[in-house]
Amino acid sequence: MIRVPIRWLLIPAVLTLAACSDGGKPAAAPPGAAQLQAQQLAVQAAEKLKMYEQLRTTERYDLAEGIGSDIVKRFPGTPAADEVQKTLPALKERAAALAESRRIARLWTYNQVKEGKGTQYTAYVFAQGSPEQEGPDRVRLVLRQHPEWGQSVYLLRDEGGFTCGRDCSVSVRFDDQPAERMPATIPPTGEPAMFIDRDVAFIAKASKARHVFIDCEWKGKGKRTLDFEVAGLDLAKLPNPPKK
112 & 231 share domain:
yes
Q: Looking at residue 135, what is its pLDDT?
A: 86
For residue 129, the SS3 value is coil
80 & 193 share domain:
no
Lowest-pLDDT choice from 6-20, 50-64, 83-97: 6-20
Which among 140, 149, 127, 129 is positioned nearest to 211, based on CA atoms?
A: 127
133 & 231 share domain:
yes
Q: Looking at residue 21, what is its pLDDT?
A: 47
Q: pLDDT band at 131, cuts 50/70/90?
A: confident
Mean pLDDT across the stretch 111-132?
A: 92
pLDDT at 1 over 70: no
Number of domains in the chain: 2
| 50, 70, 104 - which closes a domain | 104
Say if 13 falls within a structural domain. no
Contact in structure between 157 and 142 (CB atoms under 8 Å) = no
Helix axes 61-74, 33-57, angle to 10 degrees: 170
In this structure, are strands 211-218 and 222-229 parallel, antiparallel, or unpaired?
Answer: antiparallel
Q: Hey, how many other C-beta atoms are within 10 angstroms of the C-beta on 150?
A: 12
pLDDT at 17 over 50: no
For 12, phi then psi, to 5°, come to -60, -40
Handedness of CA 101, 106, 108, 114 (dihedral sign): positive
Which among 108, 199, 203, 212 is positioned nearest to 151, based on CA atoms?
A: 199
Contact in structure between 128 and 92 (CB atoms under 8 Å) = no
Q: pLDDT band at 134, cuts 50/70/90?
A: confident
176 & 95 share domain:
no
Contact in structure between 49 and 83 (CB atoms under 8 Å) = yes
Residue 145 φ/ψ region, left for φ over 0, alpha for ψ in the -120 to 50 degree band, beta for the rest = beta
For 41, phi then psi, to 5°, come to -65, -40
| Mean pLDDT rounded to a whole number for the chain | 87
Distance, CA of 197 to CA of 151 (rounded, Å): 10
Mean pLDDT across the stretch 153-161?
A: 94
Q: Looking at residue 3, what is its pLDDT?
A: 54
| 66, 85, 104 - which closes a domain | 104
Q: Give the CATH number of the domain where residue 135 resides.
A: 2.60.40.1880
Helix (H) or strand (E) holding 226: strand 222-229
Share of the chain above pLDDT 90, in %: 69
Mean pLDDT across the stretch 72-86?
A: 94
Lowest-pLDDT choice from 30-44, 191-205, 221-235: 30-44
134 & 46 share domain:
no
Q: Looking at residue 231, what is its pLDDT?
A: 96
B/e letters for 39-65, b = 16+ CB within 10 Å, e = fewer, are eebeeebeebbeebbebbeeeebeebb
69 & 99 share domain:
yes
| 79, 104, 129 - which closes a domain | 104
Contact in structure between 141 and 124 (CB atoms under 8 Å) = yes
Who has greater pLDDT, 209 or 130? 209
Who has greater pLDDT, 216 or 135? 216
88 & 203 share domain:
no
Which among 81, 78, 54, 57 is positioned nearest to 68, based on CA atoms?
A: 81
Say if 10 falls within a structural domain. no
Say if 198 falls within a structural domain. yes
Share of the chain residues as helix, strand and coil, in percent rounded to the nearest 5:
40, 30, 35
Mean pLDDT across the stretch 100-108?
A: 95
Q: pLDDT band at 6, cuts 50/70/90?
A: very low
State which residues form the domain around 130: 107-237
pLDDT at 2 over 80: no
pLDDT at 155 over 90: yes
Q: Looking at residue 20, what is its pLDDT?
A: 46
Mean pLDDT across the stretch 75-94?
A: 94
